[in-house]
Amino acid sequence: MPLLLHWLRYCWLPGLLLAAVAAQYFNLLSFRGLLLPKLPYVLLGIALSLGVFFKSSRVAFVAVLLLAGYTAVNFFQVVPVGETVVGLALALAAVNISLVSISEDRSPLNGFGVLLLAVITAQGMALAELQRCCSAQLGGWLHFPVGSMLPPWLPDILKRVQSEDLLLISAAAFAGLRAFWRPEHIGVGLFACVLLLLGAYYAGAEEGTLVLVAVSVGLLLTLLALRSAYELAFRDELTGIPSRRAYSRYLLTLGRRYSIAVVDIDHFKKLNDRYGHQVGDQALRMVAGQIARYGGGRAFRYGGEEFVVVLRGGDNERASRSLERMREKIAGYPLRLRGASRPRKGDSRALSKRGQGGGKVIKTTVSVGLASSSREMRSPEDVLGAADRALYRAKRGGRNRVCVHK
Ligand SMILES: Nc1nc2c(ncn2[C@@H]2O[C@H](COP(=O)(O)OP(=O)(O)OP(=O)(O)O)[C@@H](O)[C@H]2O)c(=O)[nH]1
């Protein structure tokens, strides 16, 4: 169940868009008036600029790919709508998107970006050449019945598969597997783009459908680029939970009654010194995950090994119960070390400790200070200050405990 929820977090946006496209295609909704043939240029252009600006090579690559394809269809008639080469162009675009979906994002304005641009240009030229010299044979190649070579006991539907189907279905399966295996916004979004191209192919790729698909992909890419910009600004890179900047924003949404808890890992410096920063980072990720899950409110990484949890309602009793449970969960969590920091060359003492982290299980604890808003303490700064003083008492009292500001 948690895996499904985790997955849903990433697929609601592409899912909504796919549903809107399907509703439009089956005439359940009508945006026809909005689907101007020039709109894909605007949306894909915006997506490309955002991809370049926010260093997302995946978004930028897909935007350039579709801009080139759409321009070819509209202006140069290199790929005339309705002929077999449109199917090949859609299949190639789907394969490209699924391949790029497994790469990591990096700056599109470097060697890698130029390589991707060269790949798109080469494919465009090859398509134009195919169209010019062998359009007669093209149909034969694309509709080659690959499925007819399968064993006779397999279902008929598989035996009807042609080379073009094979390309498109493999691209969709590849992007789908990648999105399912390591769900994140851009991976799931690119899988949705492949599904849109698949839909366009099976819908017959006539002009109206191509505009609909190009507009939808442009919109989706733009939203993905904005989403990754949001993640950059408001999510802590190491732990994946909202950052201090997100905390400041969240405070603006609070009512009069709320509580703030400050959570600090105990003896974290010792843990870092003994096992290295990599293990320290692993502990930070574990603690952040447990706070987000059991803290009873919205968790943020405040800085270093310090987190804050904001709980609505201002009920000290309820807040301290959930924080106590969270503290127990963290204290009982067996952190299996993946490996100590790599020793420096020539450091024989460090070399003798090599691999000491691998497989070893350690436990870590946290101290928590909690305070709630009141008549005397209205501003979040005051409440945070009181929670900090309560945290100090928890540390002085022996650590691994929750102290409440009275
Ligand atoms: N691995 C890792 N360490 C960090 C990070 N941010 C801060 N630290 C370390 O966190 C440690 C904080 O140590 P202290 O503030 O002395 O606190 P402590 O050792 O937890 O001691 P008490 O709070 O008194 O229990 C320092 O050694 C920092 O280098 C980070 O992102 N990764």
305 CB less than 6 Å from ligand 1? Answer: yes
Query: Ligand 1, closest atom to CA 283?
Result: 1
In this prediction, residues 364-371 reach a mean pLDDT of: 96
Looking at every residue in the chain, the average pLDDT score rounds to 86
Q: Give per-residue pLDDT as tens, 39-60.
A: 999 999 999 999 999 888 899 9
pTM: 0.74
* 344 has a pLDDT exceeding 60: no
Q: If pLDDT is split at 50, 70 and 90, which confidence band does 352 have? A: very low
231 CB less than 6 Å from ligand 1? Answer: no
Question: What span, in angstroms and rounded, lies between the C-alpha atoms of 136 and 86?
Answer: 14
Q: What amino acid positions are annotated as catalytic residues?
A: 305
Counting ligand 1 atoms within 8 A of each CB, the residue from 272, 364, 400 with the most, and so the one to mutate, is: 272
CA of 273 to the centre of ligand 1 (A): 10
Question: What span, in angstroms and rounded, lies between the C-alpha atoms of 306 and 293?
Answer: 16
CA of 27 to the centre of ligand 1 (A): 59
CA of 280 to the centre of ligand 1 (A): 8
CA of 364 to the centre of ligand 1 (A): 13
Residue nearest to ligand 1 atom 31, measured at CA = 304
Q: If pLDDT is split at 50, 70 and 90, which confidence band does 2 have? A: low
Residue nearest to ligand 1 atom 28, measured at CA = 269
- Whole-number pLDDT of residue 201: 85
236 CB less than 6 Å from ligand 1? Answer: no
